[in-house]
A and B are shown apart, each in its own frame.
Chain A
Amino acid sequence: MSKQQWTTKLLIALILVPITLFVLLPLFWAVSISLKFEGDISKLPITYLPSPATIENYIVAWYNVGFSHYFVNSVVISVGAVIFVVIMSIMTGYSLSRYQFKGKGIFMIVLLATQFVPVAVLLIPLFNIFNNLNLIGSRTSIILANITFQLPFNAILMRGFISSIPLELEEAAMIDGCSKTESIVRILLPILKPGITTVAAFAFIGCWNEFLFSFMFLNDPKKFTLPIGLKYMQGQFDINYGALAAGALIAMSVPIVLFGYLQKHLVTGLTSGAVKG
């Protein structure tokens, strides 16, 4: 390796190492706090490593606070919403990408404009609608609310992915005898896999972190989700820092694993090798 290459690598490392530390330090701190006894957390001098260590905070979060329920509920609600968001995003994105129709421009603007509306503004109208539908208190209301808020952005995102896939591929499939649906299912969807992954990841994170609707629409603690569980640890006069850190790490575990697994699909190979010659 030449001297210039070494210098370049060193410079990159000098930039990346502080950024990595900046990102990892809070995570390390959360892990450290989650393994400390409650009385040791705010003692001075600060101890960076728990000594002695305990898993009591994880037990408190999982069993006493109810993370065992919240975790399952978050998975059910997020997966349920993501499936619909992905399917509907593909449909919306496809029509926006492939068809010309009256009002398409306005429809796009409307989709974009929904991103400017604060969630809290729609809370009472949505509550009343779901209440009239007798859905308050059910996870269905949360799934529907999540679909409503995740769909516009993800539909626009999906439109971009679909637009970057040449129409000629579908036309070629149709010349070879495929119907329109078959050309989408057999040709478009396999190539769209990175786009679907990206949309699913964005929608999942949005649903996973959603607090307001879950808290307002649900009344049975057994149906509450992880973000509500995290709020439980912050009382009016008492904050259970150890259980809060343990709960936060439990809540983070799924997105971390998910992103670790999906990262290679997120942006790579979108259309590589799609059109040859």
Chain B
Amino acid sequence: MKKMVVLFALLALSFGIFAQGKPEATGSQQDVASPQIVTITFWDENAGPNRTPYFDQMIAEFEATHPTIKVNYVGLPWSDAKSKYDIAIQSKTTPDVGGIAESWLTDFIIKGALTPIDEYFNTWDRKDDIISGYIDSIRNAAPDRKLYAISNTSNIPVYWYRPDVLAEYGLDVPKSWNDFFDVIVKTTDVANNKYGFSIRGGSGGCMQLEQMLYSYSGVTEMFDAKGNSTINAPKHIELVERLASIYGKYTPESDITNGYKEMVAAFDTKVANMIVHNLGSYGEHMKTLGAGKFAALTKLESVIGNNVVVTNGSVVYSVFNTSKHPKEAFTFASWLCERDQSLFWNESIGQLPTVRSALDSDFVKNAQHMRSAAETTADPNVIIVSTPINIPGYADLLNNVCSRQWQEVLLGNRTAKSFLDNWAQSMTQLKKEYDAYLNKK
């Protein structure tokens, strides 16, 4: 009997647990007690202890200055954020507003998940403060050229180097790609486990390689007039061959499997003197190496003499079409893009504001990497091009097909030409399919 009582108690407990799980809506709600207060849900695509506290602070400030809007913050871990969005889009349970990687934008637009914000944007009094290039880039991601997002942060590729090492070898900061390779060779000291460079041979490696290829060749178009990918241009083959030739000799052998964190660890532990990443890794270098022990180089002269900087997008804020309060959602998104918030956010995460008036701030002027990035993006001689992130299938191609072949090249099991020809063929095919889809619409 005693055991029956125990069993019954356990059952009652579990029903109690079930009963307490009150479901909550994903999107916007009207506050019942105060009908004039609107609650909107905001998904942060890259939450974590190093970033979420800044959002908490900004949201508290937003709610204080906008008493009729309450923001329900939901932080998503970066590695699974896209899957969460995909499921939410499929089941129409998306938030009111969310941070999304620019490379997801076209996919979400095609799926009909986002609301065009042109109407709100055109009447927004701060719209002219956003650098027009960023708005154009977002518009270009949309098949209908409408505006589906706004951004308060931008990112460009960075060649991170250690000034103390260059000083030790009596070398100048490289200005061209030839200088860059020269520094790699001269600063390698295999006996002491010091290498001039670390290649990202693993996860995410091809995205970075693509940025390096166009910067090296000076080619400014991702596709030629016939719609063929330019990724297999002769100078690109040359760079892949040069990188493969230094792998294992002037770079650690473990580079073959380098993802982001392994590559950054090679730099931060002073095993590698230079790496190629973007502004986003600033915080990691700062944490380990400390101020003044590393510096950013944001442009290198190509082999034909021009300067090409290749961006692969940043994070943008979009209003989802399931939102019952798109106006309030846009109010929050646009508030994040205003000067003060943009500046605060970018100073916190170490990236470049997209707001023109923020570029004159002390933060941008005083931080070496920011100054360098701001000068490069403002330099009329620098050509900024974007990788074809708007073409569906692009990220999958790079991550699932190209990355394996890139490793084969580094291991000497595939030629650079074969690797880039395959890449170009697949990319051309993806573009044709995307163009056909657009024409059908």
**Cβ-based interface call for A79 (8 A):** yes
Other than the known A80-B14, A87-B11, A127-B91, what 13 A-B pairs have Cβ atoms closer than 8 Å? A42-B288, A44-B269, A64-B53, A127-B87, A138-B21, A139-B17, A139-B21, A143-B18, A215-B77, A232-B75, A235-B47, A235-B77, A237-B281
Say which size band chain B's interface belongs to: 35 or more
**Cβ-based interface call for B10 (8 A):** yes
**Cβ-based interface call for A176 (8 A):** no
17 A/B residue pairs, CB under 8 Å, sorted by A: A60-B49, A64-B49, A80-B14, A136-B26, A139-B17, A139-B21, A143-B17, A216-B83, A219-B26, A234-B78, A235-B46, A235-B48, A235-B77, A237-B283, A238-B284, A240-B50, A243-B49
Task: Check B79–A231 contact: CB distance below 8 A.
Answer: yes
Query: B347 CB to closest chain A CB, in angstroms?
Result: 15
**Cβ-based interface call for A12 (8 A):** no
Task: Check B84–A216 contact: CB distance below 8 A.
Answer: yes
Residues of B at the A interface (CB closer than 8 Å) are 3-4, 7, 10-11, 13-14, 17-18, 20-26, 41, 46-53, 73-75, 77-80, 83-84, 87, 90-91, 93, 260-261, 265, 268-271, 280-281, 283-284, 287-288, 290
Say which size band chain A's interface belongs to: 35 or more
Residue of B at shortest CB range from A227? B77
Task: Check A43–B269 contact: CB distance below 8 A.
Answer: yes
Known contacts: A83-B14, A236-B78. The answer to whether A215 contacts B84 by CB under 8 A is: yes
Residue of A at shortest CB range from B288? A42
Which of A60, A123, A232, A238 touches B77 (beta carbons < 8 Å)? A232
Between B17, B78, B83, the greatest number of chain A beta carbons within 10 A of the residue's beta carbon is seen for B17
A42 to B281, CA, bound (A): 15
| Per-residue interface assignment for chain A, residues 106 to 143, with 1 indicating a CB less than 8 Å from any chain B CB and 0 otherwise | 00000000000000000110011001001111111101
**Which 6 residue pairs are nearest across A and B when measured between Cβ atoms?**
A138-B21, A231-B77, A237-B280, A140-B21, A80-B17, A139-B21
Q: Cβ of A42: which chain B residues have Cβ within 8 Å of it?
A: 265, 268-269, 288
Known contacts: A44-B270, A143-B18. The answer to whether A138 contacts B49 by CB under 8 A is: no
Known contacts: A76-B17, A228-B77. The answer to whether A137 contacts B24 by CB under 8 A is: yes
Q: Cβ of A234: which chain B residues have Cβ within 8 Å of it?
A: 48, 77-79
Residue of A at shortest CB range from B14? A83
Query: A228 CB to closest chain B CB, in angstroms?
Result: 7
Q: Cβ of A232: which chain B residues have Cβ within 8 Å of it?
A: 47-49, 52, 75, 77
Task: Check B26–A137 contact: CB distance below 8 A.
Answer: yes
Q: Within A166-215, which residues are at the interface with B (CB < 8 Å)?
A: 185-186, 189-190, 215
Task: Check B260–A231 contact: CB distance below 8 A.
Answer: no
Q: Cβ of B23: which chain A residues have Cβ within 8 Å of it?
A: 134-138, 140-141
Q: Within A40-67, which residues are at the interface with B (CB < 8 Å)?
A: 42-44, 60-61, 64-65
Query: B383 CB to closest chain A CB, in angstroms?
Result: 26
Interface of B is mostly: helix
Which of A80, A139, A216, A238 touches B50 (beta carbons < 8 Å)? A238
Q: Within A20-44, which residues are at the interface with B (CB < 8 Å)?
A: 38-39, 42-44
Q: Cβ of B10: which chain A residues have Cβ within 8 Å of it?
A: 83, 87
**Cβ-based interface call for A256 (8 A):** no
A38 to B283, CA, bound (A): 12
Task: Check A240–B48 contact: CB distance below 8 A.
Answer: yes
**Cβ-based interface call for A269 (8 A):** no
Residue of B at shortest CB range from A223? B21
**Cβ-based interface call for A105 (8 A):** no
Task: Check A219–B41 contact: CB distance below 8 A.
Answer: yes
Residue of A at shortest CB range from B280? A237
Q: Cβ of B269: which chain A residues have Cβ within 8 Å of it?
A: 42-44
Residue of A at shortest CB range from B47? A232
Which of A60, A64, A140, A221 touches B18 (beta carbons < 8 Å)? A140
Q: Cβ of B49: which chain A residues have Cβ within 8 Å of it?
A: 60-61, 64-65, 232-233, 240, 243
**Cβ-based interface call for A84 (8 A):** yes
Query: B271 CB to closest chain A CB, in angstroms?
Result: 7
Task: Check B74–A124 contact: CB distance below 8 A.
Answer: no
Task: Check B91–A80 contact: CB distance below 8 A.
Answer: no
Task: Check B3–A39 contact: CB distance below 8 A.
Answer: no
Query: A9 CB to closest chain B CB, in angstroms?
Result: 41
Task: Check B46–A124 contact: CB distance below 8 A.
Answer: no
Q: Cβ of A128: which chain B residues have Cβ within 8 Å of it?
A: 91
A232 to B7, CA, bound (A): 38
Which of B21, B41, B75, B271 touches A44 (beta carbons < 8 Å)? B271
Residue of A at shortest CB range from B4? A185
Query: A208 CB to closest chain B CB, in angstroms?
Result: 15
A174 to B332, CA, bound (A): 70
Residue of A at shortest CB range from B16? A80
Known contacts: A42-B268, A64-B53, A231-B79. The answer to whether A131 contacts B13 by CB under 8 A is: no
Between B91, B265, B268, the greatest number of chain A beta carbons within 10 A of the residue's beta carbon is seen for B91
Q: Within A137-166, which residues are at the interface with B (CB < 8 Å)?
A: 137-141, 143
Q: Cβ of B41: which chain A residues have Cβ within 8 Å of it?
A: 219
Task: Check B17–A131 contact: CB distance below 8 A.
Answer: no
Task: Check A38–B287 contact: CB distance below 8 A.
Answer: yes
Task: Check A43–B288 contact: CB distance below 8 A.
Answer: yes
Q: Within A211-264, which residues are at the interface with B (CB < 8 Å)?
A: 215-216, 219-221, 228, 231-240, 243
Which of A124, A139, A220, A239 touches B87 (beta carbons < 8 Å)? A124
Query: A268 CB to closest chain B CB, in angstroms?
Result: 21
Known contacts: A136-B93, A228-B77, A232-B48. The answer to whether A237 contacts B260 by CB under 8 A is: yes
Task: Check B17–A185 contact: CB distance below 8 A.
Answer: no
A259 to B280, CA, bound (A): 42
A233 to B91, CA, bound (A): 28
A92 to B48, CA, bound (A): 43
A143 to B19, CA, bound (A): 12
Task: Check B13–A185 contact: CB distance below 8 A.
Answer: no
A42 to B74, CA, bound (A): 30
Query: A121 CB to closest chain B CB, in angstroms?
Result: 13
A39 to B24, CA, bound (A): 40
Residue of B at shortest CB range from A57? B49
